[in-house]
Chains A and B, each alone.
Chain A
Amino acid sequence: MIYQGKQKIWSEYQKEIPDDHWFYVRSCIRQNFFPGAERMFLEICRNVLKKDFYETEHHTTCGGIAYHCDTIPQETVMTIVARQFALMTEAGYENYVASCITSFGNYAEILETWREFPELETKIREMLWKACRREFKKPKYLAHASDLIYKYRNEIASRAKYRLVNRETGEPLKVVEHIGCHYSKMFPSKGVGGAEYPYVLCGMVEAWGGNVVDYPERRHCCGYGFRQYHVKANRGYSLSNTYKKFESMEPYHPDMIITNCPGCPYFMDRWQYVIAESTGKTYGKDGFGIPVFTYEEVAGLVLGYDPWDLGLQLHQVAVEPLLNKIGIEYNPEDKYKGLNKKDILKPGLPAVLKCC
């Protein structure tokens, strides 16, 4: 692998990301999948870095899942999105940042469609006005939340309590990065680093002390693909794609996986359990799996937040071996205690995949 070759490509795909004043929209599913991630994003941006991030309770789904499941027409999705833009305009913001990759892709696709077919934008403006008497300005800048953490990566590194380094050996951790398909595969120029060698997560890993693992199936989809997972008959297809990725990364013995999509970390985490139960195979050391994180969780870890406040107890694959490797302090007793030390009950343990 020729690192300079990648650097050359990265230098060609740099997007402008304003430093401050963002209108933040959450994902439909991430709060259930990784409940600490979005909270940590706002915590870091607002309280650690003192930036202005605004969110409103009037924000709804962007319609992306329904759109990708072919259950609603694109005009409907566009009108939903137009309403989100109206909320941004009303709040006095012009930089729009989405927590969800599919939302980000959805917004990028719609803005691009309107650019090419302005008559469609006019029609959607009329539809929005008829539906809820709102008007909007298009965002001046559109970003995915990982673009922001990428932008702040060095500031985070300078405040970090831990680094992605093996405490005992001093070696950088081997980190697999996985980018959600809708981040840049549709519009390579809209993603940091492009689509073939995206840099958005690599940049964070490098800034925080880890080494990125580039394995043959790196660009492969995690397999979620809404229509695949949501229809039970197709679920084997979803699982098979994740399996393919793990088989491909296995020889590199990665210490952890970092992702920037709602679905990918969920499936790469949960399917390790299904793969273990159905084939007996595990990918971590001593029967454990490879822990999978969102980039906000990783940022929270290096900044020294309590792993259980980050919601890491909700991961299927146990994170403790990694916490020990880095030397992150945690209290095993508190794993299944919620806020105010309330008992949130222990889950049953899998038969094959080892968990703490």
Chain B
Amino acid sequence: MKENILIIGGGIAGLEAAAMLLRLGHSPIIIEKSDRLGGHVASWHKLFPDMTPAKDVVDRLTAEASGANIFLNTEISFVNKLTDSYNIMLSNGISIITKVILVTMGFSLFDAAKKEEYGYGVYDHVVTNRDLEQWFNGKDDPRIDNSAMNAVGFVHCVGSRDEKAKNSQCSKVCCITAVKQAIEVKQKFPDASVYCFYMDLRMFGKKFEDFYISAQRDYGIRFIRGRVSEVSENIEGRVVVKAEDTLSGKPLKVTLDLLVLMAGMVCGDSCTKVAGMIPLPVDSDGFLKSKDNIFDVMESPKEGIFYAGACTGPKTVPETLAEARAAALDIHLYINGLE
């Protein structure tokens, strides 16, 4: 008998794991709460470090996973633990009995409005990294005024490395995303001054440092070491930003036409909800807890339940895909062991 494999979450991790499991001869089921596949990446425009169109990535993953049984607009209503398996009741009325679950529910973008001092949702020209990415994708945004773009700022670590925002973790990808988006803004508006306000620049990944050098050398993006403390709006509706220029040891002020908040990653809302149903433990960083953070990152402490992607912590796209493949292989070996 073929084992059911339930993949919860149709983002890139779920799709890649499904594709791999199909190739290994299994028939995975994907459930996705929204009406489309691809998760956060599907609303992104281009991906670092090679400016790959996000759409190409999602299209390819979707095509490769098309053999899976996919339920869109579907959530988990409740979970019953049976002797050696789980009975999962879905919102569409279908129930699935399975011994193997792969959790790929990813992250939620930190709600930037919680950093009240930055005025997201209050000031006319304050947006998030996601808003900007969707604007790059052609979506209209009244906060972004094409005709007057003389100065643009990026605030790193919004809701990351911030104990007050209840997220002391580094979200890992925002530094490089800010550099990428700063370059894209500069390409669109070559005469604009573009500033990045950072605490540290964490350029850990492949070619990230090259990206940073290019932002400085080729695009003249100005990096100011200091966390933005307060944002306000002047009489012309422009954004006034205060920070400390920690390299000068002096307070600094600048007026901008657009401020982009690099909202970080927190454990997905639905992830936390489903984790509560099974139940799965949450680690001290707020993300799902693995069996072991070195050897068994893709395994939960519960038998038959696996993880892939940002549900266990912030990850880049290639890291997520690598985890998805590894988790698929883990599942394959696990199922072979059952027989």
Contact = CB atoms under 8 A, between A and B. Distances in A.
A–B direct touch, CB within 8 Å, in complex?
Answer: yes
Contacts of B121: 2, 5, 8
A169 to B, nearest CB: 20
Interface stretch (A42-50, A95-103, A215-223): A215-223
B233 A214 contact: yes
Which bucket holds chain B's interface residue count? 10 to 19
Contacts of A195: 116
Contacts of B235: 215, 251-252
Contacts of B169: none
Given A215-B235, A216-B232, A216-B233, A1 B124 contact: yes
A1 B116 contact: no
Contacts of B233: 1, 214, 216
Contacts of B124: 1-2
Interface in A1-39: 1-2, 5-6, 8-9
Contacts of B123: 1-2, 5
Nearest to A6: B122
B257 to A, nearest CB: 15
Interface in B242-301: none
Nearest to B239: A216
A189 to B, nearest CB: 12
A196 interface: yes
B230 A194 contact: no
Given A9-B116, A216-B240, A197 B232 contact: no
A6 B124 CA distance: 12
B129 to A, nearest CB: 19
A248 to B, nearest CB: 8
B122 A218 contact: no
B141 interface: no
A197 B230 contact: no
Given A1-B122, A1-B124, A2-B121, A216 B116 contact: no
B147 interface: no
B247 to A, nearest CB: 24
Nearest to A12: B116
Interface string B217-242: 00000000000001011110100100
Contacts, number: 43
A214 B230 CA distance: 14
Contacts of A9: 113, 116, 122
Contacts of A219: 230, 232
A214 to B, nearest CB: 7
User: Which one of A196, A218, A251 has the highest number of Cβ atoms from chain B below 10 Å of its Cβ?
Assistant: A196
Most buried by A among B122, B234, B237: B122
B240 A197 contact: no
Contacts of B234: 215-216, 251
Nearest to A249: B235
A215 B236 CA distance: 11
Interface string A316-340: 0000000000000000000000000
Nearest to A196: B116
Contacts of B237: 1
A15 B123 CA distance: 25
Given A196-B117, A215-B235, A216-B240, A5 B122 contact: yes
Interface string B38-68: 0000000000000000000000000000000
Interface in A88-128: none
Which of A5, A197, A218 has the most B CB atoms < 10 Å from its CB?
A5
A13 to B, nearest CB: 10
A203 B144 CA distance: 31
A216 B238 CA distance: 10
Interface in A166-218: 194-197, 214-218
A215 B124 CA distance: 14
B116 A217 contact: no
Contacts of B116: 9, 194-197
B122 A2 contact: yes
Contacts of A216: 232-234, 240
A1 B235 CA distance: 10
A326 to B, nearest CB: 24
A3 to B, nearest CB: 9
Interface string B93-113: 000000000000000000001
Contacts of A2: 121-124
A251 B230 CA distance: 20
Nearest to B116: A196
A9 B121 CA distance: 10
A251 B121 CA distance: 24
Contacts of A197: 116, 122
9 contacts: A1-B237, A5-B113, A5-B123, A6-B122, A9-B113, A9-B116, A214-B232, A216-B234, A252-B235
Interface of B: 113, 116-117, 119, 121-124, 230, 232-235, 237, 240
Given A214-B233, A215-B234, A215-B235, 13 more contacts: A1-B124, A1-B233, A2-B121, A5-B119, A5-B121, A8-B121, A9-B122, A196-B119, A216-B232, A217-B232, A219-B230, A251-B234, A252-B235
The 9 closest A-B pairs by CB, nearest first: A5-B121, A5-B122, A196-B116, A216-B232, A216-B240, A251-B235, A216-B234, A196-B117, A2-B122
